[in-house]
């Protein structure tokens, strides 16, 4: 159960310029937090900070750059004296089957989704360890808990973020630092419209169309943010959000063969949709 007296304190949210990050920043401010809204897009970060008012400030950061992330944490601690919550949320979506992918797809996913989290953790953890307090919240995905075909770079990095978070949680417990990993089902964010897709999959069914086959109704960023901060306040290890995430996570844990069957059905359906789209384009 979430602590009613939970006070976020000084927070950093990467990827805070839109989607889940923006909503988490707003939720933290609503609970009395002072939030640094960090994003690669400085204009979006400033817009969000302006909407949230004086408790928020904007920062530009490329999470793939370790020195930039260290500077973000260093500047925040210099300005405010401490760091209480580090939300490593920045991410990119990458779509396509393995045979359609090249090194660029893997590099982009690894640089942002995995190394970006590693850089955030590495910068924040020493500060929190010295304080003997603080909480790190890493954004993964349902794709980090179950097989997610058709997006191997994405699901690979999200599984890695789950593993990193759970192992670090064990290391950090003795130093007063909490670690949680956020694993929502599909959320209606700009990420769905900005997928770094393999060329062979372009022109086929959209990511939104594919996903609606399994999850007709998307989660809102605001709902995910509430659950995320509630999970942080309760110091939960894994924070799955949405009925689909709760259900499939349990299926995968207790009936992995059944989950593999579901994943194979997804592949069959996606490939059929792509063939149908190619035939339609050929008849135009």
Q: Which sequence positions are flagged as catalytic?
A: 154
138 contact partners, CB below 8 Å, separation of at least 6: 88, 117, 120, 121, 161, 164, 165, 179, 180, 181, 182
Residues in the chain: 284
CA distance linking residue 258 with residue 262, whole number of Å: 6
């Amino acid at each position: 159960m979430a602590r009613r007296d939970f006070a976020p304190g000084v927070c950093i949210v990467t990827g805070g310029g839109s989607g889940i990050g923006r909503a988490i920043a707003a939720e933290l401010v609503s609970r009395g937090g002072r939030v640094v809204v960090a994003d690669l897009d400085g204009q979006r970060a400033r817009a969000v900070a302006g909407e949230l008012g004086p408790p928020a400030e904007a920062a530009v950061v490329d999470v793939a750059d370790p020195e930039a992330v260290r500077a973000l944490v260093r500047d925040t601690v210099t300005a405010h004296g401490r760091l209480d919550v580090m939300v490593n949320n920045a991410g990119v979506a990458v779509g396509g089957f393995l045979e359609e992918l090249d090194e660029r797809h893997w590099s982009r996913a690894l640089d942002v989704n995995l190394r970006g989290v590693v850089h955030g953790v590495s910068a924040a953890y020493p500060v929190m360890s010295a304080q003997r307090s603080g909480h790190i919240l890493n954004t993964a995905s349902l794709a980090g808990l179950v097989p997610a075909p058709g997006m191997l770079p994405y699901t690979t990095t999200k599984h890695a973020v789950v593993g990193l978070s759970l192992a670090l949680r064990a290391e950090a417990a003795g130093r007063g630092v909490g670690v949680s990993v956020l694993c929502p089902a599909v959320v209606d964010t700009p990420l769905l419209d900005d997928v770094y897709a393999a060329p062979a999959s372009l022109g086929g069914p959209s990511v939104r169309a594919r996903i609606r086959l399994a999850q007709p109704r998307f989660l809102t960023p605001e709902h995910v943010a509430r659950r995320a901060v509630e999970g942080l306040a309760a110091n939960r290890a894994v924070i799955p959000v949405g009925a689909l995430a709760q259900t499939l996570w349990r299926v995968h844990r207790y009936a992995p063969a059944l989950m593999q069957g579901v994943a194979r059905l997804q592949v069959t359906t996606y490939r059929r949709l792509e063939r149908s789209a190619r035939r339609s384009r050929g008849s135009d």
